[in-house]
């Protein structure tokens, strides 16, 4: 029973365009959401997060949007760069992130030059 779902295993975009990665969750008690980025042979690294009291958080080229009513969040990368090619994991947590993170299965993003 996947509580955090990333339904697109892969996504391919052109350099300079926008990348949109989607994530859905089933547990309405989640109140903190994060995106992690993972390169091959490395551990995941934190990218950006959002609390359930917000609907948008922006950090440079990365923006995360949260739609609580739809239990959906998305990560926008604009403009996309070849170095953004990686696997992106969506994660959710309770109690502001002080509890365990539940991860989705990941989406492999390829940004073509």
Partner 1 sequence: DARVTQTPRDKVTEMGQEVTMRCQPILGHNTVFWYRQTMMQGLELLAYFRNRAPLDDSGMPKDRFSAEMPDATLATLKIQPSEPRDSAVYFCASGGFDGELFFGEGSRLTVL
User: Using the rule CB under 8 A, which residue among 1, 69, 98, 113 binds partner 1?
Assistant: 98
Q: 86-93 and 32-38 as β-strands: parallel, antiparallel, unpaired? A: antiparallel
Of 62, 33, 36, 60, nearest in space to 47 by CA: 36
For the window 23-62, what string marks contact with partner 1 as x by the rule CB under 8 A?
A: ---------x-x-x----xxxxxx--x-------------
State yes or no: residue 103 binds partner 1 (CB under 8 A). yes
State yes or no: residue 96 binds partner 1 (CB under 8 A). yes
Residues that bind partner 1 (CB under 8 A): 6, 32, 34, 36, 41-46, 49, 89, 93, 96-98, 100-106
């Amino acid at each position: 029973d996947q509580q955090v779902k990333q339904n697109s295993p892969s996504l391919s975009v052109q350099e300079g365009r926008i990348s949109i990665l989607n994530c859905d969750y089933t547990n309405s008690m989640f109140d903190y959401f994060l995106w992690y980025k993972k390169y091959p042979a490395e551990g995941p690294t934190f990218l950006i997060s959002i609390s359930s009291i917000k609907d948008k958080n922006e950090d440079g080229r990365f923006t995360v949007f949260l739609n609580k009513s739809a239990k959906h969040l998305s990560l926008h990368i604009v403009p996309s760069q070849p170095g953004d090619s990686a696997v992106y994991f969506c994660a959710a947590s309770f109690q502001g992130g002080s509890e365990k993170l539940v991860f989705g299965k990941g989406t492999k993003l390829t940004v073509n030059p």
